[in-house]
Every structure is written in C-alpha cells, then in structure tokens.
Amino acid sequence: MILEVTEKADKAIRQFLENRTGSSTIRILRQNALGPGLAMVFDEPEENDLTVTVRSIPFSINRDLLDKARPIRIDFVEYGGLRGFLLTSSLPTGGCV
C-alpha cells in the first residue's frame, strides 16, 4: 500500500474540503522546519508527482519522495485538547548521526 488514510483523517479532511475553493488536491511534502517528517498542503500536482486517490480525495507526492517514504499513513489525533494530522512513513525521524 502506498498511502493509508484512516477514517478519522478522512472525516477531518472532508470537513476542510466542505468550504474550500480552489485546488482540492492535497500535496504531501517533506517538512524540515520542525524536524524531518511529512506535511500536507492544498496544491496542484507537479510534473514529477504521482497522484493517488483515496476515497475520492486526491493526494499528490513527488515520486522520489514517495520512493523514500512509503508506505505513508495519515491519521487524525486528539490529545490533551490538541488535535491535528499525524503523518507517519518510513523516513528517518532524526537524531544524532
């Protein structure tokens, strides 16, 4: 499996999409500002992207990044009054080298 989207994440994404104008494609990209990991933004697919549709929601990801990160799992978590998306993959999560 390339991409798994949990039911909780699917529901949260659909809530964002209800009032969204513009692109509804969700780009998965490398995030380095808060440490190595993945993030999601609304954006149009680029030339070297693979677009995967999960339950009618389109996701795009750079093919090279996908090769390094797969499988990718998107979940929606709530803890201590905080909530948000949690993306997990096979990418290293940091630490000293």
How far is Cα 88 from Cα 48, in angstroms, rounded to an integer?
22
Range of the domain at 36: 3-88
- Quote the number of domains for the chain: 1
Query: Does residue 49 lie within any of the structural domains?
Result: yes
Q: What SS3 class is residue 1?
A: coil
Entry pTM: 0.86
Element spanning 7, H or E: helix 7-18
Query: Does residue 51 lie within any of the structural domains?
Result: yes
Q: What are the tens digits of pLDDT across the range 35-83?
A: 668 999 999 999 999 999 999 999 999 999 999 999 999 999 999 999 9
CATH classification of the domain holding 11: 2.60.300.12
> Which among 83, 89, 97 has a CA at the least distance from the CA of 8?
83
